[in-house]
């Protein structure tokens, strides 16, 4: 097998191939960096890819009006995903389809997702959940947590945005206020996310049927790590979930919510964040100030350029090969990035920016 560090090898450029077909017929695509690298492996029969779209934050204004910028981000991601060649095996939507969880927003978002020409799996985000606790979302997309097997990999979807019952059921006079309190950043009235005991018990039973040699990929909305509490880049019972995943030789957690590239390795578990189609979050300045809160291996990214409304937003293609996961970030108005597992170092790495000398310095955001 070729290891992922080969991505840095100049000869790699020779194996670049175009993934989007019909480029000439799509005006927007002509200005996009539409080619991606596909890794070659000794046993290609086990390789497969899927696409990942997340955090569209479809926002209702009134009547038939929605925030145009957020609509465009999702429409573009769906259109580009449909043009992929070779086709991904399936698509995952990583949560925060809606901004405030209303039927109008969820219906409008579901309508756009329905244009995907692949099977789609959906993950619950807090912006989808806290208005009616996921009731309408379930009518559209089904269960909040579930699992399936695909080509020898065990996939799990978790609802990681639950919180304490007292906060959910007793604190707020209206569902709308509950939603708004959970939607804000730096809000002292918010509450940390968690997978919760009941779902952890389900996960324990689900994983008990899976052998430790089977690669496991978990999709959550919040990171199953404790990164930055002020913005709820945080899952309160992350260690309990990690403890269940550690016994697998190759476990990967892919999450949305943070709207930025992050990656990390804890024991045998690789963690990857995906971009949003709506807007990017900068890395908070406190990430740089309090280094222990930053995943060690994440390369700082500059703040998005406000003159490009789609800067640092995008979607990503994920290769799963023999259990290890490579994320290719398709950034609309920014340099495309690839983060893949390096078997030599035993962790995910950004092929282009891993070298400290080549990193963009973190910026001051406030």
In eight-state DSSP terms, residue 82 is H
Q: Tell me the closest approach of the beta carbon of residue 145 to Fe ion, in angstroms.
A: 17
Q: Which of 51, 52, 55, 78 binds Fe ion (CB under 5 A)?
A: 55
Q: Tell me the closest approach of the beta carbon of residue 366 to Fe ion, in angstroms.
A: 20
In this structure, what is the dihedral angle of CA atoms 102, 59, 303, 185, given to the nearest 10 degrees? -40
Q: Tell me the closest approach of the beta carbon of residue 27 to Fe ion, in angstroms.
A: 28
* 34 versus 182: smaller Cβ distance to Fe ion: 182
Only segment of 51-59, 72-80, 112-120, 166-174 that touches Fe ion (CB under 5 A): 51-59
Separation in Å, CA 32 to CA 5, 98, 139, 275, 334: 25, 26, 36, 16, 10
* 55 versus 71: smaller Cβ distance to Fe ion: 55
Considering only residues 216 to 255 of the shown chain, the ones binding Fe ion according to CB under 5 A are none
Considering only residues 109 to 128 of the shown chain, the ones binding Fe ion according to CB under 5 A are 125-126
Only segment of 106-114, 146-154, 257-265, 297-305 that touches Fe ion (CB under 5 A): 257-265
* 48 versus 233: smaller Cβ distance to Fe ion: 233
- For the window 122-161, what string marks contact with Fe ion as x by the rule CB under 5 A? ---xx-----------------------------------
Which position has the token pair 């709207």? 259
Number of residues lying near Fe ion (CB under 5 A): 5
Contact 19, 34 (CB under 8 A): yes
Q: Dihedral sign for Cα 120, 123, 124, 128, please.
A: negative
* 20 versus 278: smaller Cβ distance to Fe ion: 278
Q: Which of 60, 144, 257, 328 binds Fe ion (CB under 5 A)?
A: 257
Q: Is residue 96 a contact residue for Fe ion (CB under 5 A)?
A: yes
Separation in Å, CA 57 to CA 7, 66, 239: 33, 10, 28
- For the window 267-296, what string marks contact with Fe ion as x by the rule CB under 5 A? ------------------------------
Peptide bond into 86 cis (omega under 30): yes
* 125 versus 190: smaller Cβ distance to Fe ion: 125
Q: Tell me the closest approach of the beta carbon of residue 39 to Fe ion, in angstroms.
A: 29
* 34 versus 254: smaller Cβ distance to Fe ion: 254
Separation in Å, CA 262 to CA 31, 271, 272: 26, 8, 6
Token digits for 303?
């703040």
Find, among 305, 307, 351, 343, the residue nearest to 324 by Cα: 343
Cα 104 to Cα 58: distance, rounded to the nearest angstrom: 9
Find, among 357, 352, 331, the residue nearest to 340 by Cα: 352
Residues at the contact surface with Fe ion, assessed by CB under 5 A: 55, 96, 125-126, 257
């Amino acid at each position: 097998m070729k290891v992922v560090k080969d991505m840095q090898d100049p000869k790699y450029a020779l194996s670049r191939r175009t993934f989007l077909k019909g480029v000439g017929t799509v005006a927007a695509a002509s200005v996009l960096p539409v080619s991606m690298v596909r890794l070659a492996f000794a046993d290609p029969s086990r390789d497969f890819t899927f696409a990942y779209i997340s955090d569209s934050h479809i926002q209702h204004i009134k009547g038939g009006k929605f925030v145009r910028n957020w609509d465009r981000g999702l429409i573009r991601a769906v259109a580009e995903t449909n043009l992929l060649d070779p086709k991904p095996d399936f698509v995952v939507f990583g949560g925060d389809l809606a901004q405030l969880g209303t039927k109008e927003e969820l219906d409008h978002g579901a309508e756009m997702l329905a244009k995907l020409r692949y099977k789609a799996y959906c993950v619950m985000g807090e912006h989808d959940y806290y208005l009616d606790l996921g009731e309408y979302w379930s009518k559209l997309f089904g269960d909040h947590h579930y699992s399936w097997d695909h080509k020898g990999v065990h996939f799990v979807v978790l609802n990681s945005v639950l919180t304490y019952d007292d906060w959910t059921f007793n604190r707020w006079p209206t569902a709308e206020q509950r939603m708004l309190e959970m939607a804000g950043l730096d809000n002292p009235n918010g509450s940390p996310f968690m997978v919760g005991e009941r779902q952890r018990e389900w996960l324990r039973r689900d994983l008990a049927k899976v052998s430790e040699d089977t690669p496991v990929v978990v999709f959550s909305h919040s990171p199953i790590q404790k990164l930055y509490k002020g913005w709820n880049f945080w899952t309160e019972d992350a260690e309990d979930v990690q403890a269940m995943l550690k016994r697998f030789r190759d476990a990967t957690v892919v999450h949305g919510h943070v709207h930025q590239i992050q990656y990390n390795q804890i024991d045998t578990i690789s963690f990857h964040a995906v971009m949003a189609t709506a807007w990017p979050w900068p890395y908070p300045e406190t990430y740089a100030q309090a280094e222990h809160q930053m995943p060690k291996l994440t390369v700082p990214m500059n703040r998005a350029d406000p003159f490009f409304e789609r800067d640092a937003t995008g979607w990503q293609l994920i290769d799963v090969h023999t259990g290890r996961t490579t994320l290719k970030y398709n950034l609309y108005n920014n340099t495309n990035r690839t983060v893949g597992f390096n078997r030599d170092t035993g962790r995910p790495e950004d092929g282009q920016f891993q070298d400290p000398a080549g990193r963009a310095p973190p910026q001051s955001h406030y």
